[in-house]
């Protein structure tokens, strides 16, 4: 089947959306951009295609008589879990092999066998430990391979190094060198095989009223459908790094405008706060951009600002919003300059302000800056859509709602939980139009 793909290469994450010829979204994928846009776009696309398969599995299984909705959901949930494990183990094995190759480096003369023996033990333990992350009902902190494998490797390797007489530093060096190679090789070979092996395991676990062969056939039929990459459009900060021609590249401003329009057709104003830019976009009734403003080179008041503040306060990025929500008042933070705000924050702390109240002030200052960009782009006239990573932050959203109401009255504000895919969605639609409207 024809698939249209939009890829949004953000400074922090890379997103992909797969769309069918009719404009329906089939799948979404996300990965960290890790300063390697080629890999990031490959991984995001792979993820979006995996998610597409699941959408198609769902459609196919719905048609199997005797299978209830709840059963389909559980079945697919388990299938995903096993499938992810397949992928994970394959990457873990790849990491093991790559580490073994890198152990044969001139820096470790004559140590190869000893290092490899340690690696065998380490990876054996890792596989045992990490498999548990894919058990039923377990929530993984991250879906990125590096995040899952990395910290555990450090712990296991440190222990093994002590007992087996290899320097821990050596094991770290080898890991650092190998992980990049492994990340650059997304496990995309024999996807059908992986799905089927995972399915076999699911079917063994499940006690179904329907003949397992029927289910297997339905899944196989879906896997037989070739997902053609009919047209790809790239957008976002790293779009020029995408390995395709200029016709396939669209500005993220246009993509965000169109994406927001597709999600909420009455949108006239879009605010996107991403990792390092803030965009105020005005669109018409067809989703065509009529005006835009964005921050200049200084990324103050963008997602990175929150990241920096989180580091300053020794918190996780996702903890900032909830903390700010507990504030009893918002401390005035005058600067959106990240560095100055950091100084102001320490200043306030030293004066005895509560962290919650300072956090509330910081969120307010970000949104104030965004409001100025919006007003420069033409203000808010009708429905307003907020997108980007910062739209996931509850405190930012609360401030935004307050300030939009204060400045523009009662305006409908849309925030989609999948708003992070807005740019990629617009890109996919541009891709679809490039082919479908020309035909």
Contact residues toward other proteins (CB under 8 A) are 237, 250-254, 277, 286, 288-294, 296-297, 376, 378
Q: Which is nearer to other proteins, 42 or 250 (CB)?
A: 250
Q: Which is nearer to other proteins, 53 or 248 (CB)?
A: 248
- Separation between Cα atoms, residue 247 and residue 233, nearest integer Å: 8
Shortest spacing between CB 428 and other proteins, in angstroms = 16
Q: Which is nearer to other proteins, 278 or 393 (CB)?
A: 278
Shortest spacing between CB 271 and other proteins, in angstroms = 16
Q: Which is nearer to other proteins, 139 or 286 (CB)?
A: 286
Other beta carbons within 10 Å of 266: 12
Would you state the structure tokens that stand for residue 215, as one six-digit string?
Answer: 């289910």
Shortest spacing between CB 387 and other proteins, in angstroms = 16
Q: Which is nearer to other proteins, 293 or 335 (CB)?
A: 293
Q: Which is nearer to other proteins, 204 or 286 (CB)?
A: 286
Shortest spacing between CB 248 and other proteins, in angstroms = 13
Q: Which of 248, 265, 256, 345 is nearest to 305 (CA)?
A: 345
Q: Which of 343, 342, 372, 358 is nearest to 278 (CA)?
A: 372
Q: Which is nearer to other proteins, 199 or 262 (CB)?
A: 262
- Separation between Cα atoms, residue 391 and residue 269, nearest integer Å: 15
Q: Confirm if 41 and 9 have CB atoms less than 8 A apart.
A: yes
Q: Does residue 369 sit in helix, strand or coil?
A: helix
Give all strands of the β-sheet with 267-273 in edge-to-edge order: 289-294, 278-283, 267-273, 383-387, 413-414
Shortest spacing between CB 427 and other proteins, in angstroms = 12
DSSP structure class, residue 236: S
Q: Which of 303, 311, 312, 313 is nearest to 336 (CA)?
A: 303
DSSP structure class, residue 268: E
The DSSP element (H or E) to which 128 belongs, if any, is helix 112-131
Q: Which is nearer to other proteins, 97 or 291 (CB)?
A: 291
Please give the sequence-ordered ranges of beta strands (E in DSSP) within 128-168, or none if there are none.
Answer: none
Shortest spacing between CB 435 and other proteins, in angstroms = 15
Shortest spacing between CB 283 and other proteins, in angstroms = 10
Q: Does residue 16 sit in helix, strand or coil?
A: strand
Q: Which is nearer to other proteins, 162 or 376 (CB)?
A: 376
Q: Confirm if 399 and 206 have CB atoms less than 8 A apart.
A: no
Shortest spacing between CB 160 and other proteins, in angstroms = 44
Give all strands of the β-sheet with 228-235 in edge-to-edge order: 25-32, 13-19, 2-9, 228-235
Number of helices and strands (H, E) in the chain?
A: 14, 9
- Taking each helix axis from N to C end, the angle separating 338-350 and 303-312, rounded to the nearest 10 degrees, works out to 40
Shortest spacing between CB 297 and other proteins, in angstroms = 3
Q: Which is nearer to other proteins, 29 or 287 (CB)?
A: 287
Q: Confirm if 359 and 320 have CB atoms less than 8 A apart.
A: yes
Shortest spacing between CB 378 and other proteins, in angstroms = 7
């Amino acid at each position: 089947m024809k698939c249209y793909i939009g890829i949004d290469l953000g400074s922090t994450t890379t997103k992909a959306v797969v769309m069918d010829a009719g404009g329906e979204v089939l799948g979404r994928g996300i990965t960290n951009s890790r300063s390697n846009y080629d890999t990031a776009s490959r991984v995001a696309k792979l993820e979006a295609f995996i998610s597409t398969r699941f959408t198609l599995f769902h459609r196919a299984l719905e048609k199997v008589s005797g299978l209830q909705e709840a059963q389909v959901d559980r079945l697919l949930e388990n299938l995903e879990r096993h499938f992810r494990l397949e992928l994970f183990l394959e990457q873990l094995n790849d990491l093991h092999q790559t580490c073994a190759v890198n152990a044969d480096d001139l820096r470790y003369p004559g140590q190869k066998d000893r290092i490899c023996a340690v690696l065998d033990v380490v990876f054996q333990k890792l596989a045992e430990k990490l498999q548990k992350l894919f058990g039923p009902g377990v929530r993984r902190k991250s879906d990125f391979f590096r995040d899952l494998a990395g910290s555990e490797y450090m712990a296991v390797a440190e222990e093994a190094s002590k007992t087996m007489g290899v320097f821990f530093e050596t094991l770290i060096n080898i890991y650092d060198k190998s992980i990049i190679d492994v990340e650059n090789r997304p496990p995309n070979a024999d996807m059908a095989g992986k799905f089927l092996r995972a399915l076999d395991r699911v079917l063994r676990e499940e006690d179904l009223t329907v003949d397992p062969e029927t289910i297997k056939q339905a899944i196989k039929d879906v896997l037989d459908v070739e997902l053609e990459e009919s047209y790809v459009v790239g957008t976002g900060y790293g779009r020029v790094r995408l390995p395709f021609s200029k016709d396939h590249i669209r500005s993220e401003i246009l993509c965000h405008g169109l994406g927001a329009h597709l999600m909420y057709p009455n949108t006239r104003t879009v605010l996107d706060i991403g990792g390092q830019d803030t965009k105020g976009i005005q669109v018409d009734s067809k989703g065509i951009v009529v005006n835009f403003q964005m921050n200049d080179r200084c990324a103050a008041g963008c997602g990175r600002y929150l990241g920096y503040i989180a580091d300053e306060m020794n918190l996780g990025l996702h903890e900032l919003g909830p903390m700010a929500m507990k504030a009893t008042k918002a401390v005035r933070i005058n600067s959106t300059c990240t560095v100055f705000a950091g100084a102001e924050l320490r200043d306030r702390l030293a004066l005895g302000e509560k962290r919650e109240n300072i956090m509330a002030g910081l969120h307010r200052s970000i949104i104030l800056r965004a409001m100025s960009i919006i007003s420069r782009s033409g203000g808010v006239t009708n429905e307003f859509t907020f997108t980007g990573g910062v739209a996931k932050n509850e405190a930012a959203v609360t401030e935004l709602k307050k300030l939009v109401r204060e400045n523009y009255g009662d305006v409908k504000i849309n925030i989609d939980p999948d708003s992070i895919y807005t740019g990629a969605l617009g890109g996919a639609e541009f891709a679809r139009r490039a082919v479908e409207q020309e035909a």
